[in-house]
Amino acid sequence: MLELQDVSLSFRSSKGSFDDGVHHVLDGVSFKLYENETLGIVGRNGVGKTTMLRIMAGILAPTSGTVITRPDVAASLLTIGLGHRLDLNGRDNALLSAMLQGASKSEALGYLEEIKAFSELGDSFEEPVKTYSAGMKSRLGFTTALLTHVDILLVDEILSVGDAEFRQKAEQAMKQRISGNQTVVFVSHSNAQVKELCDRVLWIDKGKIRAEGDPEDTLAQYRASMKK
């Protein structure tokens, strides 16, 4: 459904510690994402997990290598605070996001009351997003992507924010989507969440895939590396 072939990505950096001022964030990453699977991505801070999601979402282009997707596939990246128009209210942001994720205007309009109800934003749904807290933005972003039925849901740590009650509800809703026919890529530092939700795990280390496969095995290898 989506494939990365030998994908590398570098940023120019002012830090002298990187090669000639170039920071190689991803280095020859190849993998396939299969329809209806939930793929977990784990790894230490700063190893390139979010960068990989951004490449999959088409927000970043790789420096070299190829990203192959079916032309009819829409991917949505769920990450806090990204993609909101701050001057617009929650309703208009939800409408825009739904349309950007491939819904027609009438379909998108049809989702709005459900989004308002699930996100529990109440009257704030009609207020500009610039007045929202981080948790409120995450409720809006999570709910919009969840309820607008994207082909690939790219989830970046979003389940770790928000208050406990919403987190539980969001986790429950994610589980329902995952058990249905939804393809999900899930970045998380919670090994318990990854073990519970994912069919397969990629462990990223220094921009490369260090291991991939069964969640229990891959997480065990990742944990063991941290003890060294």
Ligand X SMILES: Nc1ncnc2c1ncn2[C@@H]1O[C@H](COP(=O)(O)OP(=O)(O)OP(=O)(O)O)[C@@H](O)[C@H]1O
Contacts of 66 (CB under 8 A, 6+ apart): 4, 5, 6, 7
> Of the candidates 24, 33, 38, 49, which one interacts with ligand X according to CB under 6 A?
49
**211 is a contact residue toward ligand X (CB under 6 A):** no
List all residues 6 or more positions away from 196 whose beta carbon is below 8 Å from its beta carbon: none
Whose Cβ is closer to ligand X: residue 55's or residue 145's?
A: 55
Binding ligand X (rule: CB under 6 A), the pick from 40, 48, 83, 215 is 48
Distance CA 138, CA 129 (A): 11
- The least CB distance from residue 107 to ligand X, in Å, is 32
User: If binding is defined by CB under 6 A, does position 202 make contact with ligand X?
Assistant: no
51 binds ligand X (CB under 6 A): yes
By C-beta, is 50 or 89 nearer to ligand X? Answer: 50
Instruction: Provide the token pair at 185.
Output: 């890529």
24 contacts ligand X (rule: CB under 6 A): no
Residue 120 CB, nearest distance to ligand X (Å)? 27
Are 143 and 115 in contact by the 8 Å Cβ rule? The answer is yes
Strands (E), 35-158: 38-42, 64-69, 75-78, 152-156
In the bound state with ligand X, the residue whose beta carbon lies nearer, of 45 and 106, is 45
The one among 33, 38, 40, 50 contacting ligand X by CB under 6 A: 50
Report phi then psi at 101, rounded to 5.
-85, 10
- Gyration radius (Cα) of the chain, Å: 18
Identify the residue among 7, 47, 80, 146 touching ligand X (CB under 6 A): 47
Position 198 contacts ligand X (CB under 6 A): no
3-state secondary structure of 67: strand
Positions that interact with ligand X (CB under 6 A): 11, 23, 25, 43, 45-51
